[in-house]
Amino acid sequence: MRAYQVPEIDIPPAFVECEKPEPNVGETRVKIACCGLNFADLLMQKGQYQDTPPAPFTLGMEIAGTIDTHGAGVSGPKAGTRVAVFGGQGGLAEYGCYDARIVLPIPDAMSMAEAAAFQIAYGTSHLALGYRAKLKPGETLLVLGAAGGVGLTAVEIGKLMGATVIAVARGADKLEVARKAGADHLIEADVDDLRGELKALGGVDVVYDPVGGDLFKAAFRACKPEARILTIGFASGDVPKVPANHLLVKNIDVLGFYWGGYLKFKPEIVTDSLRELFDWYEQGKLKPHVSHLLPFEQAADGMELLRARKSTGKVVIEVTPQEA
């Protein structure tokens, strides 16, 4: 089979021919249809992600496909069932083997591209806003990087949870995508005085931040007393320092959130969350946004779209061409 692998840290990934993996006890082998790309794929190539596997490794954290076969000790679902999996790596390959407990059937109406774009982005926002920040109806939610893979789902889910949503993104096109996802207020990321704009809107109860850097600092200064700041990631490359004395004075909480980490110590909350999100999709409450669907041969182009921040929502690679 073909796979898109990182041979060594800081060496560009390339296509290789390798053996089709055999499922171990408790595993399911999936024929991969689509793979969603994530900013973490870029960090892994440089060894900068917290869960970077040892090289060589295959990129691609989340996939959708069909069950091919099971290893010993796994009874179902049957071969051909459409499923989605968050595996953490290995998705940019024609087949992958995964712990059967994290292989989830997907709704009939959901396309493979949508399913490959769904788990990390929606799962992150759902658990971060609900489980960690305990966002309440009527509160004001600020989403930084609001047109990105996770940011756009935070806008959508925040609105479903009854919040007033302020979206911050770079450029009119990205802000329009956030507006269509439900944002009530739109602010250009390059505005001269972001703190002033946020204070004029009454301040912020919850901050959803996958960006870091100067945007974090401005958002921090616009927080109301008892606000909660979710640190989701640092796409800016700048990990901000938090003035602990200001936390004390304003009674602010800064909450770290790493969705994949919960699979190691509370996997049930991840799978329960995803089942609820799939139900919301079936009810028409969620509309995954895939800005680019590229063939397997253009995996490098997909990575470059993320690196250059030219995508909105998700970039998905079609590993196996799908019938119309």
- Single pTM value for the model: 0.91
- CA dist., res. 324 & res. 316, Å (int): 17
3-class DSSP state of 301: helix
- Reply yes or no on whether the pLDDT at 232 is more than 80: yes
CA–CA separation, 122 vs 149, rounded Å? Answer: 9
Question: From 1.20.120.50, 3.90.180.10, 3.40.50.2300, 3.40.50.300, which CATH number describes the 2-118+288-318 domain?
Answer: 3.90.180.10
pLDDT > 60? residue 210: yes
Cα(first)–Cα(last) distance of the chain, in Å?
24
Residue 21, both tokens: 């993996």
Give residue 187's pLDDT band: very low, low, confident or very high (50, 70, 90). Answer: very high
The arithmetic mean of pLDDT across residues 132-154, rounded, is 97
Is the pLDDT score of 161 beyond 60?
A: yes
Has residue 320 got a pLDDT over 80? yes
Calculated CA dihedral for residues 66, 69, 74, 76, nearest 10 degrees: 50
Q: What is the DSSP letter of 111?
A: -
Do the domains 121-260 and 2-118+288-318 match in fold? no
Which is more confidently placed, 246 or 140?
140
Look at phi and psi of residue 116 and say left if phi exceeds 0, alpha if psi is from -120 to 50, else beta. Answer: alpha
Domain boundaries of the chain, sorted by first residue: 2-118+288-318, 121-260
Chain center to CA of 255: 17
In 120-265, beta strands by DSSP E: 140-144, 164-169, 185-188, 204-209, 223-231, 253-256
Q: Which of 103, 58, 114 is nearest to 79 (CA)?
A: 103
Whether residue 146 contacts residue 168, with contact meaning beta carbons closer than 8 Å, is answered with yes
Phi-psi region of 171 (alpha: psi -120 to 50; beta: other; left: phi over 0): left
Q: What are the pLDDT digits (tens) for 197-207?
A: 999 999 999 99
What pLDDT is stored for residue 323 in this prediction? 65
**Residue 167 CB neighbour total at 10 angstroms:** 29
What does the alpha-carbon distance between residue 257 and residue 128 come to, in Å, rounded to a whole number? 7
Which residues, other chains included, contact 276 with Cβ-Cβ below 8 Å and sequence gap of 6+? 126
Q: What is the pLDDT of residues 49-105, one digit of tens each?
A: 989 999 999 999 999 999 999 999 998 899 999 999 999 999 999 999 999 988 999
Q: 85: which residues sit within 8 A by CB, 6+ positions away?
A: 30, 62, 63, 64, 65, 96, 98, 102, 103, 104, 119
CATH superfamily to which 121-260 belongs? NAD(P)-binding Rossmann-like Domain (3.40.50.720)
